[in-house]
Chains A and B, each alone.
Chain A
């Protein structure tokens, strides 16, 4: 069981991944935490708290995106961490690999990028993803598979542009 702080901090990253804006993400997390706290009794009756928190948070993010009217198309860029490998050449390769991945992720349709990040970055099991996205678990399986295939295709095209 993760602490409220751990779930909340991770939730901020999820909100940022959707909104690409620090202040909007902070606001969304605060609203979602308040909603979860206000409905904590319902949560205790067997509902999955993390999945529900992510779902409330997602709904809030969708509201913010609708209110903006114009969808953001900012890439998933953040400043790379200030870390260096013992081997500078390997470090450069690794950075390039991750930059390609980041770019390929950014190019995916929102629906695909979201499900890949929920599974691979946020580590949510299929049942929780189904709660967050409000879709059947079977759809999670097929959508995630399609998303991974699409991501792989884009990444291979970036890594082997001449082939």
Chain B
């Protein structure tokens, strides 16, 4: 009985501990008696051990800090913008509310201050919309600054 071809197919998974207990047992028994298959198995094991010893580049500490800095920057930028815009909206709304309620300010002053605030909001929105529009078509948006 020569089941070497079947066992050979299982040698990699046997080495990696990825066979069922029953399959593993079958390979163990076969390897005990088959020099040719044992040779292949030993070569696979040597290859695995040697590959672990190979040296490949790793990021230096400085490069790693750059990666993490960029990563942290990208992930916190969204949160920062959200907080900033949320806070501004609350403060402007509260300011407007207080302004309208204040009896000591006359109508002309009311209109002037409201126009200034409204103008600032409109200018901000215009710039924001323009930036969003140009960002969508910017070919270089993924280039790190």
Taking Cβ atoms with an 8 Å cutoff, the residues of A that contact B are 5, 8-9, 12-13, 16-17, 22, 25-27, 29-30, 33-34, 37-38, 76, 78, 80-81, 97-98, 101-102, 105, 116-117, 119-121, 123, 125-126, 141-142, 144-145, 148, 151-152, 155-156
Q: How far is the CB of B24 from chain A (nearest CB, A)?
A: 14
- Cα distance A105–B52 in the bound complex, in angstroms: 13
Q: Are B47 and A155 in contact (CB under 8 A)?
A: yes
Q: Are B57 and A78 in contact (CB under 8 A)?
A: yes
Q: Are B71 and A30 in contact (CB under 8 A)?
A: yes
- Cα distance A38–B70 in the bound complex, in angstroms: 14
> 8 A-B contacts, Cβ less than 8 Å apart?
A12-B57, A26-B67, A101-B51, A102-B54, A120-B52, A144-B12, A145-B13, A156-B43
User: Which residue in chain A gives the minimum CB-CB distance to B63?
Assistant: A26
Q: Are A12 and B55 in contact (CB under 8 A)?
A: no
Q: Which residues of A contact B12 (CB under 8 A)?
A: 141, 144-145, 148
Q: A119-B16, A152-B43 are known contacts. Are A27 and B144 too (CB-CB below 8 A)?
A: yes
Residue of B48, B55, B56 contacting most chain A CB atoms (<10 Å): B56
Give the interface SS of chain B, mostly helix, strand, loop or mixed: helix
User: Which residue in chain A gives the minimum CB-CB distance to B59?
Assistant: A12
Residue from B18, B63, B71 within 8 A of A33 (CB atoms): B71
Q: Are B50 and A97 in contact (CB under 8 A)?
A: yes
Given A22-B63, A78-B57, 19 other A-B residues pairs in contact with their CB atoms under 8 A:
A12-B57, A13-B56, A13-B58, A16-B57, A17-B56, A27-B144, A37-B75, A101-B47, A102-B54, A105-B51, A105-B54, A116-B51, A119-B16, A120-B47, A121-B54, A121-B56, A145-B11, A152-B40, A156-B43
